[in-house]
Amino acid sequence: GFLKDMSKWLSGGQKTDSVRSATVKLKVFNKRLTRNTKKMEMTAKQARDKAVRLRKAGDMEGSEFHARNYLQIKKQARAIDHFRTNL
């Protein structure tokens, strides 16, 4: 559309993605992955705290659920971090 044409015109009318454009996209993607990892780590911490609180209250089933949730989220965050470092 119009905005895309305008942005091409402002950037000098480059038709193909340059190396600079690729590096900028990678940096933005890397930052997005970092933000997602931090959010997942905060969610995992909340799940761990909830599991501990429920275990102290005597609700073993609820505690087990949140402990599994904590482990799953932590594993996903580690996988994203590993992918990000290989990028």
What are the φ/ψ torsions at residue 28 (nearest 5 degrees)?
A: -65, -45
What is d(CA 69, CA 41) in angstroms, rounded to the nearest whole number?
A: 12
Encode pLDDT of 23-45 as tens digits: 888 889 999 999 999 999 999 99
Give the per-residue pLDDT at 13. 66
- Is residue 8 very low, low, confident or very high in pLDDT (cuts 50, 70, 90)? confident
Query: Structure tokens of 52?
Result: 């501990």
What are the φ/ψ torsions at residue 13 (nearest 5 degrees)?
A: 75, 30
Give the per-residue pLDDT at 67. 96
What are the φ/ψ torsions at residue 18 (nearest 5 degrees)?
A: -90, 175
Give the per-residue pLDDT at 31. 93
CB 36 within 8 A of CB 80: yes
